[in-house]
Structure 1
Amino acid sequence: MSLPARLIRPVIADLEPYTPILPLDVLAARLGLPVERLVKLDANENPYGPAPRARAALANEPFYHIYPDPGHTRLRAALSAYTGQPVERILCGAGADELIDLILRLCIDPGDTVIDCPPTFGMYSFDTGVCGGQVATVPRRADFSLDLEGIERVASARKAKILFLTTPNNPTGNLLSPAELEQLLRLPLLVVVDEAYIEFAGVGQGFGAWVGRHENLAVLRTFSKWAGLAGLRVGYGLLPEWLAEQLWKIKQPYNVSVAAQEAAIASLEDRAHLLANVARIVAERERLLPLLAALPFLQPLPSAANFILCRVVERPARELKLALERQGVLVRYYSTPLLRDYIRISAGTPEQSTALLQALHTLI
């Protein structure tokens, strides 16, 4: 047996790597186009970027040479004021992605079951595989609503430990209803609700206020989308205290950088500016919907997030994605069976929408 074969865990050796979105400079080099020619609508990033106070905080921070606060003390206090949850229920991470990974590493032994409801965010199943867990898939219905009865059957038959849900769901854009969540919280498992896009949904604090009333509910959030801090990697969890206490044991001590903590605190202080940008993005999403629907080969779905999922008809969705890419317009295509006929388009600036529509009209 070779050394790699002896050392590497079999579940990792057999694992398909996660395919992330590439940054602008790498994409520009690959396409042979200048960066300024690219219209990046493939990763649901905030086109307006960080708040002015966040930019100032990053420029003026004097302590980049000092390790960051491992307890995220000031950031958690600011998040407590923002969410209404006590600091004991708040844990920060290098994006919500780190918190997904931490929860799975805390709870999942090899062979344990995690319920996934595709199409949805791919990190839930990916991180489950890294832990050696088993993913029990309960596909969404034709309209992308949850199959509640299917989830309940699998939870019982497989003695599942965790159920991941996203609201608004990525990439379909639909919301989880309070009645659905109430029903699923009766199951004997941990329900993790990922609210990465909740600020675009017009539902206030989402399900964050429910944490503490249900010992099996965890809510994850991020500063990547609404606050324009995707490149700094900072998110947080609103968690039952028993879960937060255990996660503190296993998180890396300095997991959220000085820059990320300062920018996140400043973002919370500059909410009025950021929420005005959120409103601009939502308005652009709503303006774009009928314009996309007017094209003969696109059938866009309503969305409560900062993106629109479109069914592609009359041609392969992948070919449409590549045709747009050749014109410098980047959208997301998924090769998975449930989504191979769809593309996802991020809501950007009016100027980005104009470039997108011009490119689409050349393909009629």
Structure 2
Amino acid sequence: MVRIRTDLATFAPYVPGKQPEDGNWIKLNTNEASECPPGALAALNALGPEGLFRYPDPTAMPLRRDLAGLYGLTPDRVVVGNGSDEILSLLLRAVCDPGAEVLAPDPAYSLYPVLAAAQGASYRAIACLDDFALDLESLCAARPAITFITSPNNPAGTSYPAGQIARICASGHNLVVVDEAYAEFAESNALGLLREFPNLAIARTFSKAYGLAGARVGYLLGPAELCQTLLAIKDAYNISAAAQAAAQAALRDRDWAEAMWESVRSRRSRLIAGLSSIPGLEPHPSQANFVLVDCGPHSAPWLLEQLAAQKILVRHLGHVRGAENALRITVGKDSEIERLLGELSAICHAC
């Protein structure tokens, strides 16, 4: 019998959103984009056979150069990963000795405690204040190996000002990682702090803002010495040639990307307004490509089931603090939002 680490005996894995097997669903549960860059599709079509039978660039250097140019950095301050999830895992491997503390607000991305447990680290969550505000005093007083701040917050959609991130960095933390998976949809970000704080890194992804969730490409912007360590411990050839080509093409498709981001913001406003008009529902302000809506007198699990019966998928995160009776809804296409609002209105009015 294979011996498994004893600390993994009660390991609770990350539970992803449902992925339906047929295409007849309205899928608003995993915060994917509803389209992808035309340039990325063209790049995949032009890849050629060598993109399959040759190994890809092992460090994705051409893509790292493009990202460095976009953000005014040098390539040695950029690491590309198999989705930003791999970046988060590499960071824990790089800075966490067994038993080291991983810190995050609560709520936050639910993968953090999973990755901490897999690394043999301890995980501590500091409860957010009202309206999902950061408890800055408690966060700044802690001394963890690594601190994750999801901004915009997942699942709340709350974006945290750069001044708050700066305060945490200045308080003496070893490493502060701002997880900006949804930052392109927000009004602010922490990019301007990278030159000021040597203990700050920013994780981003092509999944949401560039419509490449299926390609699995994420990246880190951070101190050169940290990035070189991540490159040393990452898996070999971790980003396929197809994914690298698609990501580079997506960066070149800047006009398309910016138009898509603006469209998401506009549709997000319509979604919030529509949810607010339904009796009992209270959507939270959002700076992401999703909206968290408190279901009030209605049961969120029951609404989830009623929508699923109409082949509409949304997400209930009942284990997440502050979202026990809430649904997280991706900002979909106009037609999808209209259908969702119509079904929700009918269900709630029938109660």
State whether TM-score is above 0.5.
Answer: yes
CA separation in 2, counterparts of 1:243 and 1:362? 53
Identify the match of residue 149 of structure 1 among 137, 145, 149: 137
The answer to whether residue 99 in structure 2 is matched with residue 114 in structure 1 is no
Residue correspondences, number: 344
Which residue in 2 is equivalent to 1:31?
Answer: none
Q: CA deviation at 1:43?
A: 0.6
Which residue in 2 is equivalent to 1:320?
Answer: 303
1:128-143 aligned within 5 A: 128-143=116-131
Q: Tell me, yes or no, if the aligned pair for 2:107 and 2:320 is still in contact at 8 Å.
A: no
Q: CA deviation at 1:40?
A: 0.5
Q: Tell me, yes or no, if the aligned pair for 1:329 and 1:359 is still in contact at 8 Å.
A: no
CA separation in 2, counterparts of 1:13 and 1:107? 24
Which residue in 1 is equivalent to 2:156?
Answer: 172
Which residue in 2 is equivalent to 1:188?
Answer: 173
Identify the match of residue 199 of structure 1 among 172, 184, 189: 184
> Which 5+ residue runs of structure 2 have no aligned equivalent?
none
CA separation in 2, counterparts of 1:192 and 1:161? 11
Which residue in 1 is equivalent to 2:337?
Answer: 353
Identify the match of residue 96 of structure 1 among 84, 94, 101: 84
CA separation in 1, counterparts of 2:173 and 2:276? 42
Q: Tell me, yes or no, if the aligned pair for 2:140 and 2:167 is still in contact at 8 Å.
A: no
The answer to whether residue 32 in structure 2 is matched with residue 13 in structure 1 is no
Identify the match of residue 29 of structure 2 among 27, 32, 42: 42
The answer to whether residue 245 in structure 2 is matched with residue 275 in structure 1 is no
Which residue in 2 is equivalent to 1:249?
Answer: 232
Q: CA deviation at 1:110?
A: 1.8
Q: CA deviation at 1:188?
A: 2.9
CA separation in 2, counterparts of 1:269 and 1:179? 31
Amino acid at match of 2:249: A
The answer to whether residue 282 in structure 2 is matched with residue 299 in structure 1 is yes
CA separation in 1, counterparts of 2:60 and 2:273? 44
Amino acid at match of 2:75: V
Q: 1:45 to 1:249 in 2, by over 3 A?
A: same
Amino acid at match of 2:5: R
The answer to whether residue 70 in structure 2 is matched with residue 86 in structure 1 is no
CA separation in 2, counterparts of 1:361 and 1:176? 32
CA RMSD of aligned residues (A): 1.2
CA separation in 2, counterparts of 1:315 and 1:176? 30
Amino acid at match of 2:316: Y
The alignment's TM-score, normalised by the length of structure 1, stands at 0.92
Q: What SS does the corresponding residue of 2:85 show, helix, strand or coil?
A: helix
Amino acid at match of 1:238: L
Q: CA deviation at 1:337?
A: 5.1
Runs of 4+ in 1 over 4 A off after TM superposition: none
